[in-house]
Amino acid sequence: MRVERGTSKSDVALNLAALLISAVLGWCMMQVAYRQSTAIDAIKEIFSHIQTGAFTMPLLLAVVAWIISGLGVIACGVGILFTMPLAYCILGCAYETVFGTQTSDCCCGCTPPPVDSADSTPPTM
Protein backbone atom coordinates (compact mmCIF):
# COMPACT_ATOMS: atom_id res chain seq x y z
CA MET A 1 0.00 0.00 0.00
CA ARG A 2 1.49 3.30 -1.08
CA VAL A 3 0.79 6.44 0.87
CA GLU A 4 0.95 9.71 -1.01
CA ARG A 5 2.68 12.43 0.97
CA GLY A 6 1.74 15.92 0.03
CA THR A 7 0.21 19.07 1.28
CA SER A 8 -3.51 19.33 0.88
CA LYS A 9 -5.47 22.57 0.85
CA SER A 10 -6.84 21.87 4.30
CA ASP A 11 -3.32 21.48 5.71
CA VAL A 12 -2.30 24.84 4.26
CA ALA A 13 -5.46 26.49 5.57
CA LEU A 14 -4.92 25.06 9.06
CA ASN A 15 -1.29 26.18 9.10
CA LEU A 16 -2.23 29.70 8.02
CA ALA A 17 -4.98 29.83 10.64
CA ALA A 18 -2.55 28.66 13.32
CA LEU A 19 -0.03 31.29 12.23
CA LEU A 20 -2.64 34.04 12.38
CA ILE A 21 -3.89 32.91 15.78
CA SER A 22 -0.35 32.81 17.17
CA ALA A 23 0.25 36.35 15.88
CA VAL A 24 -2.95 37.61 17.53
CA LEU A 25 -2.11 35.86 20.79
CA GLY A 26 1.41 37.33 20.65
CA TRP A 27 -0.07 40.82 20.53
CA CYS A 28 -2.46 39.91 23.35
CA MET A 29 0.47 38.69 25.43
CA MET A 30 2.15 42.08 25.04
CA GLN A 31 -1.09 43.84 26.02
CA VAL A 32 -1.16 41.83 29.23
CA ALA A 33 2.51 42.49 29.96
CA TYR A 34 2.64 46.21 29.17
CA ARG A 35 -0.78 47.39 30.30
CA GLN A 36 -1.34 44.84 33.08
CA SER A 37 -4.78 43.99 31.70
CA THR A 38 -6.49 40.64 31.90
CA ALA A 39 -6.19 38.18 29.05
CA ILE A 40 -9.86 38.54 28.11
CA ASP A 41 -9.60 42.34 28.02
CA ALA A 42 -6.46 42.11 25.87
CA ILE A 43 -8.15 39.76 23.40
CA LYS A 44 -11.18 42.06 23.20
CA GLU A 45 -8.99 45.11 22.58
CA ILE A 46 -6.90 43.42 19.89
CA PHE A 47 -10.02 42.14 18.10
CA SER A 48 -11.59 45.60 18.25
CA HIS A 49 -8.46 46.97 16.55
CA ILE A 50 -8.61 44.19 13.95
CA GLN A 51 -12.27 44.95 13.18
CA THR A 52 -11.51 48.62 12.48
CA GLY A 53 -8.91 47.62 9.90
CA ALA A 54 -6.19 49.81 11.40
CA PHE A 55 -4.36 46.79 12.76
CA THR A 56 -3.69 44.99 9.48
CA MET A 57 -0.04 45.96 9.02
CA PRO A 58 1.04 45.23 12.63
CA LEU A 59 -0.70 41.87 12.39
CA LEU A 60 1.10 41.05 9.14
CA LEU A 61 4.37 42.16 10.74
CA ALA A 62 3.74 39.70 13.56
CA VAL A 63 3.08 36.91 11.06
CA VAL A 64 6.33 37.70 9.20
CA ALA A 65 8.29 37.84 12.47
CA TRP A 66 6.94 34.44 13.52
CA ILE A 67 7.76 32.96 10.11
CA ILE A 68 11.33 34.26 10.33
CA SER A 69 11.77 32.93 13.85
CA GLY A 70 10.29 29.57 12.87
CA LEU A 71 12.65 29.27 9.91
CA GLY A 72 15.59 30.06 12.18
CA VAL A 73 14.58 27.33 14.58
CA ILE A 74 14.03 24.81 11.77
CA ALA A 75 17.26 25.68 9.94
CA CYS A 76 19.44 25.28 12.99
CA GLY A 77 18.52 24.42 16.55
CA VAL A 78 20.85 27.17 17.73
CA GLY A 79 18.79 29.57 15.63
CA ILE A 80 16.33 29.72 18.50
CA LEU A 81 18.91 31.80 20.39
CA PHE A 82 18.95 34.44 17.65
CA THR A 83 15.69 34.43 15.74
CA MET A 84 13.20 34.16 18.61
CA PRO A 85 14.65 37.18 20.48
CA LEU A 86 14.74 39.03 17.16
CA ALA A 87 11.05 38.32 16.63
CA TYR A 88 10.22 39.56 20.13
CA CYS A 89 12.29 42.72 19.58
CA ILE A 90 10.49 43.39 16.29
CA LEU A 91 7.11 42.91 17.93
CA GLY A 92 8.09 45.03 20.94
CA CYS A 93 9.11 47.94 18.72
CA ALA A 94 5.93 47.57 16.68
CA TYR A 95 3.87 47.52 19.88
CA GLU A 96 5.47 50.76 21.07
CA THR A 97 4.79 52.31 17.67
CA VAL A 98 1.14 51.26 17.59
CA PHE A 99 0.09 51.68 21.20
CA GLY A 100 2.63 54.20 22.53
CA THR A 101 4.51 54.13 25.79
CA GLN A 102 3.18 54.26 29.28
CA THR A 103 3.44 57.79 30.58
CA SER A 104 2.65 57.13 34.22
CA ASP A 105 2.50 54.31 36.74
CA CYS A 106 5.34 52.33 35.20
CA CYS A 107 5.49 48.78 36.53
CA CYS A 108 9.04 49.31 37.86
CA GLY A 109 8.12 52.52 39.72
CA CYS A 110 10.26 54.82 37.59
CA THR A 111 9.07 57.95 35.85
CA PRO A 112 9.93 58.63 32.23
CA PRO A 113 12.15 61.61 31.47
CA PRO A 114 10.38 64.80 30.40
CA VAL A 115 10.23 65.58 26.71
CA ASP A 116 11.79 68.95 25.96
CA SER A 117 11.16 70.44 22.54
CA ALA A 118 14.48 72.34 22.70
CA ASP A 119 16.38 69.02 22.88
CA SER A 120 14.86 67.82 19.62
CA THR A 121 16.51 70.49 17.47
CA PRO A 122 19.85 69.55 15.94
CA PRO A 123 22.89 71.37 17.30
CA THR A 124 24.32 74.16 15.20
CA MET A 125 27.99 74.58 14.51
How far, in Å, CA of 85 to CA of 69, rounded? Answer: 8
Segment 111-125, tens digit of pLDDT: 555 555 555 555 565
Contact 39, 32 (CB under 8 A): yes
Contact 34, 102 (CB under 8 A): yes
The whole-model pTM stands at 0.57
% of the chain at pLDDT higher than 70: 74
Segment 24-70, tens digit of pLDDT: 888 888 888 888 889 899 888 888 888 887 777 887 888 888 788 88
The residue among 38, 32, 44, 41 whose CA lies nearest residue 95 is 32
How far, in Å, CA of 38 to CA of 56, rounded? Answer: 23
Q: Provide the CB-side half-sphere exposure for 61 (13 A, CA).
A: 17
